[in-house]
Structure 1
């Protein structure tokens, strides 16, 4: 045995033995009771190594305020059970005082994991289920049961997810913000969501750059057998869903200053915002009008599109279409609403 090896367990460095002990303690606590044989098999060491480690744990602890060790300052085990090759820790030290997630915090994290697991690239990933189970066990109290219901998707969602998993190209007709349709061939890179809407981030072969496509505006989708030419690691994929670094339209928005946070990514941090009376204005670049017009139509009296005219018309059309979906509205309500929309 070389000079840097420990005298037990075959560990080549003291650091290796310390790492082993730090892993062994939470394992024994989690198991409640485990045989020496099973613990040795779990860590891939000899039973003698496990026994020596448990003996070391039993004389470890945290000294009291007077720097002396009392009985309550040390770990303890069930010695009768240990004689029968069973390990049961009967007293814990310091570990019980470590901070834990509250039940609410654990529930929020588990909900986030469930959402991530619902994404096409993560479906059936055992790692998320395992981590959620560990969070539940490690919380200070039992977390509330949560179920994240996936947003409704159209048939394109599953087919795009299939192309992503197989690494093949897609072809489809795409309608832009002006209603014009064009055939596109793309290398799918990622699916992203914004509330209940899903978007495909992809390398567009006709534009030779990354583009964002809203799934419900994709028609005649065809999953090809052609391998993709560009992968997410090969291109710059902006963290912003509405990346307007390529083709874009400049839109002037007017909104109440306190509503700036409601506009989200449409007015990203760093955008120049000016004051016009009691309202604020900002010029932003958007790849299409659809999401923007729906946003401002839902913030009537709070935000509106000022320019260009086609963007204002798109917002008006969206609001009128939404109004038409309420057949029970009275004629007076409809007239009042249309007047409000016309002034938006």
Structure 2
């Protein structure tokens, strides 16, 4: 008769490590058979049963420093004894730990849904796993949310397809000055600033890295031409926008508390004159349309000083916007 080999006995350190691994394993699976657990940990089924019986009398003492029922783990004993199934019915040690609220978890999950669409987030399996864990670990079931599609989402999907295929992306681009050109780029990175999304890529027309606003891209198409520049080949500057010799120099005054918001537009070495609660300095913009957008986001904290043309353009644009509200009111 063949002799059954007994499993090697664990020492105290090995048993502790085993139990610390077993508890989260059981909690994550909710219901699992003894045989499946034994196969996963590579131990005898009877060792699993003994460990489960030990877990069932373990826990964290309450405020009285004594163990009450609610302070201990518990299992579905009938299922365990009759069906060899393990179901934890009380999880004291983990239930007392801080958790995200249902609203917090829902907000994080919605954000992860959007981030998973960006081309640089290649490991979408990890993102999906994290969303599942957030849903399980919340103090209550998170609301079922989905991020609404926008006009830029179709472009994002094509950018992701272009990156995955390793081919160039073609599109029509409407410049800030109203000119439209067909561009062919190697997509490198998608970034956001305020409420706008931008594509940074190697522009084959300009033979340099360029930044494109997604809402100005139309008729995008993934070409069959392989990319010649990848994100690892090109050193991208830290700032989203770079100055050029054609930029317009504008003097502005901005409150000290808001000066940091203009950091990307203030050229290196620009003079700063400290006034009472404000600072006067210069910014570089590629066109006055960009200046209008910049000032719109800093209403009440920034003022255009010179040149006179810049002041006129911003003032007329603001007046036109105010007139539309006056018309609605009438």
TM-score by length of 1: 0.69
Alpha-carbon displacement from aligned partner over 1:124-164 (angstroms, at most 9, x marks no partner): 94543442232122112333443322333386555444323
Measure, in 2, the Cα distance between the counterparts of 1:231 and 1:49.
53
* Residue matched to 1:21: 19
Alignment of 1:88-103 (within 5 A): 88-103=87-102
Alpha-carbon displacement from aligned partner over 1:239-266 (angstroms, at most 9, x marks no partner): 54x2326667344332334444665855
* Residue matched to 2:241: 243
In terms of mean alpha carbon deviation, does 175-184 or 291-300 score higher? 175-184
The unaligned stretches of length 5 or more in structure 1 are: 1-5, 334-344
* Residue matched to 2:4: none
Structure 2 counterpart SS, 1:153: helix
CA 1:135–1:219 in 2, change beyond 3 Å: closer, same or farther? closer
8 Å CA contact 1:154, 1:216 repeated in 2: no
TM-score by length of 2: 0.71
Alignment of 1:129-208 (within 5 A): 129-153=128-152, 156-172=155-171, 174=173, 176-179=175-178, 184-205=183-204, 208=207
CA 1:315–1:113 in 2, change beyond 3 Å: closer, same or farther? same
1:202 shift after superposition: 0.7
1:220 shift after superposition: 6.9
Indicate whether 1:35 and 2:36 are aligned.
no
1:189 shift after superposition: 1.0
Alpha-carbon displacement from aligned partner over 1:70-95 (angstroms, at most 9, x marks no partner): 57565444554433312233554432
Measure, in 1, the Cα distance between the counterparts of 2:162 and 2:113.
22
The unaligned stretches of length 5 or more in structure 2 are: 1-6
CA 1:189–1:162 in 2, change beyond 3 Å: closer, same or farther? same
CA 1:65–1:211 in 2, change beyond 3 Å: closer, same or farther? same
8 Å CA contact 1:151, 1:196 repeated in 2: no
Alignment of 1:21-100 (within 5 A): 21-40=19-38, 47-58=45-56, 60-62=58-60, 70=67, 75-84=73-82, 85-100=84-99
Aligned residue pairs: how many?
Answer: 320
Alignment of 1:201-280 (within 5 A): 201-205=200-204, 208-218=207-217, 223-238=222-237, 240=239, 242-244=240-242, 249=247, 250-260=249-259, 266=265, 274-277=273-276, 279-280=278-279
RMSD after superposition: 4.5
8 Å CA contact 1:81, 1:87 repeated in 2: yes
1:283 shift after superposition: 2.7
Structure 1 counterpart SS, 2:152: coil
In terms of mean alpha carbon deviation, does 29-38 or 114-123 score higher? 114-123
Alpha-carbon displacement from aligned partner over 1:6-45 (angstroms, at most 9, x marks no partner): 9358x9x966x65553332123234444321343456676
